[in-house]
Amino acid sequence: MTKYIFVTGGVTSSLGKGIISASLAKLLQARGYKVTIQKFDPYINIDPGTLNPYEHGECYVTEDGAETDLDLGHYERFLNTATSQANNVTTGRIYQHVIDKEREGAYLGKTVQVVPHITDEIKRRMCLLGEDEKYDIIITELGGTVGDIESLPFIEAVRQLRWELGGNDSLVIHLTLVPFLAAAGELKTKPTQHSVKTLLEYGIQPDILVCRTEHHLNSDIRKKLALFCNVNINAVIESIDAPSIYDVPLLMLKEQLDKTVLTKLKLSTKNEPDLDSWKIFLGKLKNPTAEITIALVGKYVELPDAYKSINEAFIQAGAINECKVRVKCIAAESINDENVKEKLKRVAGVLVAPGFGERGLDGKLVAIQYVREHGVPFFGICLGMQCAVVEFGRNVLKLKNANSSEMDPKTKHPVIHLMEGQKHVKNMGGTMRLGAYDCEIKKGTKAAAIYGKSKISERHRHRYEFNNHYLAQYEEAGMIASGINPENNLVEIVELKNHPFFVAGQFHPELKSTVANPHPLFVSFVAASLAHSKVVKQK
């Protein structure tokens, strides 16, 4: 029978519920258990697809095309297993389902209420992944913090579900903050006590406390927390600030979080976790033999979480190359013809990031022209690929004012244009080419050498495509379409013939990069950038 773990948060947001959930799942997986994680978000948006990245960080796209919370990226990077639409549920999706059923008459005229109708739907979704008994353990992370109005239906659903499941088939982990007051020179447990008290008022006794802290918890602090929060002393887990999120599984192993969980769920602890490959990765990550700086040119550079998966993919690709990758974020709007050389002259490579809209477009085009003409390794993702096509059209093919019809609907040369099936869509959200699509790679190309195979699958999130009307012109001038979608003949990858590394994809390779399998495009781009930096130093 599937066991359920619920992870709640208290005191403040951004304590790292996603990382703790992913780390625990990694430890349980390393012990041989089949584990998955799901995220329940309390906001009323149907999904994060229409949210500004400054609001909620990046929108993470799954294989089946779901636009989800960025925590699902952590789940996949740690576990190396794909998530799906079922792994991320929002209040908006819950309410939409219940209201649709009410309109259909499914409730037989009854008054539709938060309890039982909303809570029943939340419970149904919480148990959905466990119905086919594919997993031994399902971890459910609840977004927000205990005490938020938005979170109340989720907390109530957990209370009911725990009662229905019984004692040994579920547990609650409460992640909270133990702050250090510098003036007093001591750690304070009161915020945690109040947070647990609030949880108790809702009818939930946490089984395990994970305490985020900047300083180690001594035995007195642990005893105090155990006593006043009514948990076993071995269930007070220290989560100290770590140099990297990839250190957290080993820190949780040291604190015996996985062992405590399994004991409480009455599951075997005899198989010690196999973390050899994880430790090898960490060893390479912490002991690089080289260091490079790669420029990330984009719109949302003020918020690191806006490009979370890209930054993590660089960490993973850097470790494989035994190279520390420093990502230098440059606002596209700040780049122009006069300063581009100064901004990019010290970087080993340039990545132009994905996004929507025309803000910063000119800066991206200037950056791409510079790296194309100066032999600097270039990697374009989604809009970055489209910008590479526009820049090449304007400056090499001399197509005056060539553009994407997203930026200029009246352009005479729409080298990037709207997909036919999207021309009459008016609603935003869920209207794009989303999720995994196949791609066939041409032999003898750089893409073929990078992937080492002719057929791949990558995840998409966009509406606009390369305009095949111009394809012959581009290929004749040296920009090759090295990857093509076999179903509809859409261009997936472009590259330049006579350039050390100039590759751009219509898809988002960062979404498939994991600790166990760093993405080959990132690995190759980092390797090319490392080689370029050595050449520059020799000069």
What amino acid positions are annotated as catalytic residues? Answer: 382, 508, 510
Q: Is 464 labelled a binding residue?
A: no
Q: Is 318 labelled a binding residue?
A: no
Pairing label, strands 137-142, 35-41: parallel
Query: How many beta carbons lie within 10 A of that of residue 336, not counting itself?
Result: 12
510, two tokens:
């960062």
Q: Is 463 labelled a binding residue?
A: yes
Return the amino acid letter for 366: V
Q: Is 14 labelled a binding residue?
A: yes
420, two tokens:
């036919």
Buried b (16+ CB within 10 A) or exposed e, 481-519: bbbbbeeeebbbbbbbeebbbbbbbbbbbbbbbbbeebb
Q: Is 15 labelled a binding residue?
A: yes
Q: Is 18 labelled a binding residue?
A: yes
**Among candidates 397, 399, 331, 409, which has minimal Cα distance to 366?**
331
Q: Is 408 labelled a binding residue?
A: no
Residue 361: exposure state from Cβ atoms within 10 A (0-12, 13-18, ≥19): buried
Q: Is 190 labelled a binding residue?
A: yes
Q: Is 1 labelled a binding residue?
A: no
Dist. CA 199–CA 206, nearest whole Å:
8
Q: Is 17 labelled a binding residue?
A: yes
Q: Is 188 labelled a binding residue?
A: yes
Q: Is 406 labelled a binding residue?
A: yes
288, two tokens:
């690089």
Q: Is 416 labelled a binding residue?
A: no
296, two tokens:
């990330």
Q: Bridge partners of 138?
A: 4, 36
Dist. CA 207–CA 201, nearest whole Å:
15
Q: Is 203 labelled a binding residue?
A: no
User: Which positions make up the binding site?
Assistant: 13-19, 54, 71, 141, 148-150, 188-193, 224, 242, 355, 383-386, 406, 463
User: Which positions make up the binding site for L-glutamine?
Assistant: 54, 355, 383-386, 406, 463
User: Which positions make up the binding site for Mg(2+)?
Assistant: 71, 141
User: Which positions make up the binding site for UTP?
Assistant: 13, 188-193, 224
User: Which positions make up the binding site for CTP?
Assistant: 13, 148-150, 188-193, 224
